[in-house]
Amino acid sequence: MKILVTGGAGFIGSHVVDMYVQHGHQVVIVDDLSTGRESNLNPAAAFYRLDIRDPALQDVFAREHPDAVNHHAAQMDVRRSVAEPGFDAEVNILGSINLLECARRHQVRRLIYISTGGAVYGEPEYLPCDEAHPINPICPYGASKHTVEHYLYMYRQIYGLDYVVLRYPNVYGPRQDPHGEAGVVAIFTGQMLAGQPVIINGDGEQQRDFVFVGDCARANLLALENPAASGIYNLGCGRGTTVNQIFQSLRQATDYEHAAAYGPAKPGETRRIFLNADRIRAELGWAPSLDLDDGIRQTVGYFRTAERAA
């Protein structure tokens, strides 16, 4: 099968590309490299450096004729979404509509859309959140990502476009940007290995659902290859881990000698969120395979070598 992956040079998207290639699929990557890296590109995949908002995206579809689309490209900085909600909506909503129109015009069979379980639900009414939990995002990023889920439903009703939505938890692992806003594991790891101060936003008791990137890539493979996959699926381990716990685990793995410092909480940040993944477990057989300690060891090992050499 030929699949076009937007954001395929990014942290998670590049792992998804690798998974697809390993399982014999043809892959086309569309990425503007605003946050993705050329070093993440799989050499077996075709690559187009292009913004998903660009009308030239139509030309890529006309040339490549993908059977399916995997949509990872996004503006995913919560703080930027609060500061620049128009930009967030332009990329995440208008860019996605451009992609949907390309998929419609070129008879794409399935679209896999990456949404956010950490931001669409807002402050949870119950935990862990399942897919039926009310949608009440408290940041523009969560609102823009959820808006596209409605467009997917409409495109299926009007045009018959099959789709799968994967609502991600907090994903961590190799290739995550240690210098960006998102990804507390990568940011702390980079700072600890460099001997720099580590600042925790708020009191550190915020709870998140952490899942290793390889497990998320496997969910994308199941969503592509299983014809029964349809609709919305949470990914997650179903339990919360605090930022303070992440700090302590990383401190041990990196032999970091300093205590954490604490700064102001981030606006628009959910206090506690972890996800119920029973639906994808029952229907597609997915569950996290790597526990947090092993995942952190693998992540720190990567940062000790690849990131320091970059």
Positions marked catalytic: 141
Cβ atoms of 32 and 49 closer than 8 Å: yes
Q: Which of 252, 165, 227, 281 is nearest to 289 (CA)?
A: 281
**For residue 77, what are the contacts with CB-CB under 8 A and spacing of at least 6?**
141, 180, 181, 182
Q: Which of 240, 211, 202, 237 is nearest to 299 (CA)?
A: 211
Pair type for strands 68-71 and 2-6: parallel
Sole residue written with tokens 């702390």: 188
Cβ atoms < 10 Å from Cβ of 242: 16
